[in-house]
């Protein structure tokens, strides 16, 4: 599911907000232009992700999705919304 950025997303946690070692389940993607790229890389709603590491200055980050490591810029990670727990 792709959400338009105009929808209310107050309080919605993204992959960018995760701490190292934290896990979350992808809820949806909020950038239609980037969604296809992220979907092709395995960032599919319902998939569990884990924040693996952050670069010394914080950007990029690496996440583990579907048993492989994926490197993302923070602006990309911000478009991946997580399910509320």
Domain that holds residue 78: 26-82
Q: How far apart are CA 24 and CA 69, in angstroms?
A: 15
**What is the tens place of the pLDDT at every residue in 16-48?**
999 999 999 999 999 999 999 999 999 999 999
10: confidence class by pLDDT, cuts 50, 70, 90? low
47-72: burial string, b at 16+ Cβ within 10 Å, e else: eebbbbeeeeeeebbbbebeeeebeb
Q: Report CA Rg, the chain.
A: 12
For residue 77, what pLDDT is reported?
95
Q: How far apart are CA 85 and CA 77, in angstroms?
A: 19
Phi, psi of 16 (to 5 degrees): -60, -30
Domain count within the chain = 1
Residue 8 lies in a domain: no
Q: Are 22 and 49 in contact (CB under 8 A)?
A: no
**What is the tens place of the pLDDT at every residue in 41-66?**
999 999 999 999 999 998 999 999 99
Residue 4 lies in a domain: no
Residue 6 lies in a domain: no
Kindly report the average pLDDT of the chain as a whole number: 88
Task: Report the CATH number that the domain containing residue 56 is assigned in CATH.
Answer: 2.30.30.90
Residue 52 lies in a domain: yes
């Amino acid at each position: 599911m792709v959400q338009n950025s105009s929808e209310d997303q107050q309080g919605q946690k993204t992959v960018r907000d995760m701490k190292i070692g934290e896990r979350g389940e992808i809820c949806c993607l909020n950038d239609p232009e980037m969604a296809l790229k992220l979907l092709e890389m395995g960032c599919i709603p319902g998939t569990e992700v884990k924040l693996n590491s952050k670069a010394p200055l914080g950007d990029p980050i690496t996440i583990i999705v579907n048993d492989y490591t994926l490197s993302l810029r923070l602006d990309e990670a911000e478009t991946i919304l997580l399910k509320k727990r």
